[in-house]
Amino acid sequence: MRIIFLCMIVFMQSHIAFADNDISGKESPEKNVTNTSWNLSDIYANWDQWNADLTEVKQLMEDIKTYQGRLNTNPKVFIELMQKEEQLSKKFGRVFRYPYFMRQLNSLDQETSAKMQEIRAMYAEYATATSWISPEILDIPRGTMEKWIETHAELEPYAFNLMNSYRLQEHVLTADKEKLMSHFSRPMGTASSVYDELSVSDIQFPEITLSTGEKVKLSHANYTKLLETLSSQEDRKLVFESYYKIYKDHENTYAAIYKGICEKDNAYAKARGYKGTLEAKLEGNNIPTAVYESLIKTAYDNVGPLHKYMELRKQVMELDELHTYDLSTKFTDYNREYDFTEAVGMVKEAVKPLGEDYLAYLNEATKGGWIDVYEKPNKTSGAFSANVYGVHPYILLNWNKSLNHVFTLAHELGHSMHSIYSNNNQPYATHSYTIFVAEVASTFNEHLLLDNLIEQAEKPEERIALLQQAIENIWGTFYIQSLYADYEYQVHKRVENGQPVTAGVLNKIMGDLYNHYYGEAVTPDELTSVKWSRVPHFYGMPYYVYQYATSFSASSELFSRYKNGSKKEQQTTIEKYKTLLKSGGNDFPVNQLKKAGVDLTSTKPFEAVVAQMDYYVNELEKELKKL
């Protein structure tokens, strides 16, 4: 398997974003707040610098081609190749992200779209021309490679990935077959690109008129907040139906796109000799498929606390029928809005237990230029953190001042701190941590923030709001992501078995899962069944979402150990946790978590989250009785 250049594939496939430096410092919605947009000048000052690096990338690609047929002749030649690929990967990361991330702020930017097409074409051509590398590396006997690593210090940074390549050797094809497979790299990404265009560039949400007479233009960003704040059930229904009607009207197109993605995954798995698509996705990081299957079964079999919460919600809201569009409203009038600068201060206060070094990194990340805060026309929805090696991480938000977005900020800053620790403590070859451990850092920050806010809460209304936040965090991160993981698993199995996949089939799978997870308290809505069409991870990163649930379970166990331990035990827990942050990708993720004290090969972490959910629901019920 490719050792360094695999990083390029991650760049090509991941959903990460940037913005042009000329927007930095524009007026923000908050008074006296500036520099709330990305500053790309940290990467390149201008297009001339970008073009200079692009020229170097092309030259490096040509240089690497000259090593064909020479890798097993002597270790010095092999070392040269590894170092060339590392140099190329570092350079390519910047060249690729500069225009690609700009486009995420403006999906209609045709200039950057054209540059991205040029880069993708260049990469596809290079991948085909160098498809011989993986088979040729594996032609070197494992014993010989081990001796080279032992006697040449230059190979030490690549040791883990090299040995992992030999573990996966049975899935590497011969050089001619690898070349044939490389020809399909671009068309295999077409379905995902079509989804992005349909759901971001071409989507047109309607303007609706609420019962108050107010006109509202729907968007990805304001949809959730409207459901949280609108007091009228009819208005919430209007928002829900108007939003999902767009997806329902195009459900056959979305189904065809998703079927194509599942078929691509199946073809890849078969071509490389995997037992199925799940194994193909998990085997690279040596994650047992039993972890995935155990998660979805444990969540599916333990929905009792979630059912209880839905019953409690129905009672509190005094509704004859509780619908999915009623599930975002708050139980009290505590509906405070948070300015972005205030939220930054709240996060800083919460993470103090992680030490002065952690806080120093966080101060640097929030001083300006690293975070694009506010929603803009044609800007991609949601939130995420994206690392640029040799520069710094960047965070995208669509700030709406809600408590939920305060937690989103803590979440994404957790990712960024993880990147900084990994960058500073690992060589380039192992600096990139796996998705499997990525969400531990983000959700651990959320645990710290929640605990800090609950301790400070003085009024019952505030405590209720925070308990709701805790419950809905488990609901959204553990239960819903497990539901989504179950959905992906079922659909991929259908494709593997040659069964039909239509919009009707997908609606039934999703609808049945929601009905099971929500229970009898929630009246089924037809449009809930089409929610599969708007989850971008299904289309861009198959078999990704389960890791939110596994990581949340791991961070919950770590936080519980910290919260309930003695001062000495707390310090030990924090040190182990920060060791995890520093470890990058220097070991298999299940092993990394075991070193931190969490064993995800057992059901214990998952069951602990269920118990935590039950505790919070019971506490919420007690607090509500005080009103």
**What is the Cα–Cα distance from 250 to 240, expressed in whole angstroms?**
16
Residue with tokens 């979305």: 254
206 secondary structure, DSSP code = P
Helical packing angle, 503-518 and 251-271, nearest 10°: 90
Give Cβ neighbours of residue 479 (< 8 Å, ≥ 6 apart): 299, 303, 306, 517, 613
**What is the Cα–Cα distance from 397 to 551, expressed in whole angstroms?**
21
Query: Which of these is catalytic: 86, 279, 412, 439?
Result: 412
β-bridge partners, 384: 396
79 secondary structure, DSSP code = H
Fill in the amino acid letter for 502: T
217 secondary structure, DSSP code = E
Q: In what order do the strands lie in the sheet with 393-396?
A: 371-372, 393-396, 384-387
Strand, helix or coil for residue 525: coil
Q: Is 526 a catalytic residue?
A: no
Closest to 417 measured CA to CA, from 449, 448, 447, 395? 395
- Contact present, 366 and 344 (Cβ < 8 Å): yes
Give Cβ neighbours of residue 353 (< 8 Å, ≥ 6 apart): 448, 562, 570, 574
H or E element: which one contains 387? strand 384-387
Strand, helix or coil for residue 502: coil
Q: Residues with catalytic annotation?
A: 412
